[in-house]
Amino acid sequence: MKIFSVVTLLLWSSFIFSSAPIRAAEKKLNVLFIAVDDLRPELGCYGVPTIKSPNIDALAKSGLLFNRAYCQQAVCSPSRTSLLTGRRPDTTKIYNLQDHFRQTIPDVVTLPQHFKNNGYFCQSFGKIYHIGLDDPKSWSAPSFGSGGDGSSKNPKPKKAAAKKSDEKNSGRGPAWESRTVADNELPDGQVADAALKVLGDVKDKPFFLAVGFHKPHLPFIAPQKYYDLYRADEMRLAKNPSPPKDVFPIALTDWGELRSYSGIPKTGPIPDDMARDLIRGYYAATSYTDAQIGRLLAELKRLDLRENTIVILWGDHGWQLGEHGLWSKHTNFEIATRSMLMISIPGQKQRGAKTDALVEFVDVYPTLCELAGLPLTDGLEGKSFAPLIANPKLPWKQAAFSQYPRGKLMGHSMRTDRYRYTEWAMPGERLEGMELYDHKKDPDENVNIANLPKNKKLVAELSEQLRKGWKAASPATVKN
């Protein structure tokens, strides 16, 4: 275990903070850790003005936004496990939604557990770990609403008021629905209420509060007023609704998650009108969650805690809204692995900046430790991106790594500055298939060029880089 010296901490504080570095060293910085389920980086602050996300946009203006942040696996539990343990899926052995990391790495010290061990009050609200897979060791008090739809209770609507899918409810019910209810009559509003109450209770002690919002995860349920922000006929369909040319077939998915909802075709594509309704529902659910985040940030300011609290906001992976004819996540494509991430710290000099540096979710653990002046635990497989807060243009990682299993095959994917390269193989056996996308010429990943003879040398170079892995791709400027 490596521990910062007092001198190092003071020097770092004066580098990052514009005022009172002694105060930062003397008083522990709080952490407000906000997770959003299935929220892809499609917001006003990411250059998509169609989305009404004023509160997230305001947070971005106060901090640093990451244009190229990547999850380790584009599905909820493996992604969250990697971020919260600081370890990659091939280390955690968590590739699905059923297994718990305490079965595979029982002695690991999680990110919130580490803060708890260092004198912080730690509690979670809503979905932080995956549903049904909470980790009591991580928290100082029982989690609120860690099951079901993101709450300990799931209220019934007073009235269903907007267009639903036209099939009678069966199975999971409709995939989208507006309701004539107040925000806190739905689970995410209740999560915000609970977090606000505890925030007031613990304002005088160092805290790590993890608040996880379930929407825009399916089903896209939100109060009517958020649906009113959007018109279905104005929703733009994906510009690349076909699979990539020459794609390795197993890279695709039949998006069974969405098909399990009533009214959704069991086979084949989504009709355009239905696709527009789904996109509208996704956007409405996003705006609903944005409002709950705004409530948290407003209360933080009201309690005079903003200047002593690190705020980090992340979406656990991307989400496909018809790109390549796909919906949901569960792939290695850029649209599924690229994730929303931003951080704001007290006294930050570079406010409202954006960085194109390649960062990964395993980097969050060491970053928060460094910013809070905590020692790093052993076994972390990410690198602190704290230096980017001071200099967003700093040369950084050569690559970010993701993966996704398909039956007996594992697809290991690497995003470099220009390329996404993926190999599909059974562990320890011969290569079954490859994908290569040139983001300079083909940013939407529409043509797989891995099998072109002219790219044989490039593929060999990328394959070697993939096999060398994350350690070789880490920035030399940061040392654990």
Catalytic residue among 45, 122, 130, 324: 130
β-strands 207-213, 30-36: how paired? parallel
| Contact indicator for 176, 216 with CB cutoff of 8 Å | no
Strand partners, 144: 125
Core vs surface per residue 410-443: b (16+ CB within 10 A) or e = bbbbbbbeebbbbbbbeeeeeeebbbbbeeeebe
CB hemisphere CA count around 386 (13 angstroms):
21
Tell me how far apart the alpha carbons of residues 19 and 409 are, in angstroms, rounded to a whole number: 52
Distance between first and last Cα of the chain:
9
Catalytic residue among 45, 71, 76, 369: 76
Name the nearest CA neighbour of 377 among 118, 136, 139.
Answer: 118
Structure tokens given for 52: 């009404």
330 classed as catalytic: no
- Angle at which helices 272-302 and 187-201 pack, to 10 degrees? 10
Tell me how far apart the alpha carbons of residues 4 and 263 are, in angstroms, rounded to a whole number: 56
Tell me how far apart the alpha carbons of residues 111 and 10 are, in angstroms, rounded to a whole number: 23
**CA angle 140-150-194, nearest 5°?**
50
Tell me how far apart the alpha carbons of residues 299 and 297 are, in angstroms, rounded to a whole number: 5
Peptide bond into 216 cis (omega under 30): yes
130 classed as catalytic: yes
Tell me how far apart the alpha carbons of residues 162 and 183 are, in angstroms, rounded to a whole number: 16
Tell me how far apart the alpha carbons of residues 17 and 31 are, in angstroms, rounded to a whole number: 16
Residue 61 buriedness (CB in 10 A; 0-12 / 13-18 / 19+):
middle
Active-site residue set: 76, 130
